[in-house]
Amino acid sequence: MFERLNTPEEAFNYQLGAALKMEHTVLDKILADNMEEAQDAKLKELFRHHMDETRQQIDNLEQAFSAFGWEVDDSPCPAIEAIHKEGKTNVKKTDDSIVDSIIVSGAAETEHHEIAVYESLITNARAMGRDDVVSLLQQNLAQEQHTLEEVKRSAEQIAAALPR
């Protein structure tokens, strides 16, 4: 773990570690909880599928560390912990009949956060001339963007079916 970040490489290494921590939190906490709490079968399937993708994303991030010759090491990612905590609190206080609406809203926040993280990493990997790493990160970004679209579609269907 770095005390201070003094070079662009150190900053990138640190942020790559935060992305790794983010994905582990998404897989082990956010998606695991969503799978358990979602009521709609199609929504559960979306989360189950994204768990598989997230395992690939973790693998891609570990490959990015290796491509630089760095030891795989995660960095703190309090933002994703906060998204998880807020979602958990909201789900707990929400009736099962409308809980999917709360769950997809948290899922959209998660995906937007992940997209921002990958966009920044890609910008910096490209500036370092590391096309190999850019391509690994692009795979993750494309999966997050696709998942966000699926989440938005679900959110529309769920919102339309809510009792008014």
Q: Which residues bind Fe ion (CB under 5 A)?
A: 54, 57, 114
- Please, which residues have CB within 8 angstroms of residue 8's CB and are 6 or more apart in sequence? 124, 127, 128
Closest CB to Fe ion among residues 100, 111: 111
Closest CB to Fe ion among residues 29, 94: 29
Closest CB to Fe ion among residues 22, 155: 22
- Please, which residues have CB within 8 angstroms of residue 56's CB and are 6 or more apart in sequence? 139, 143
**Within the chain, how many helices (H) and strands (E) appear?**
6, 0
| Helix boundaries (H) for 26-130 | 32-37, 41-68, 78-92, 99-127
78: burial class by Cβ within 10 Å (0-12, 13-18, 19+)? exposed
Closest CB to Fe ion among residues 57, 154: 57
Least CB distance from residue 19 to Fe ion, whole Å? 9
Least CB distance from residue 150 to Fe ion, whole Å? 13
Of 52, 113, 47, the residue nearest 78 (C-alpha): 113
Least CB distance from residue 26 to Fe ion, whole Å? 5
Least CB distance from residue 50 to Fe ion, whole Å? 7
Least CB distance from residue 122 to Fe ion, whole Å? 14
Closest CB to Fe ion among residues 25, 124: 25
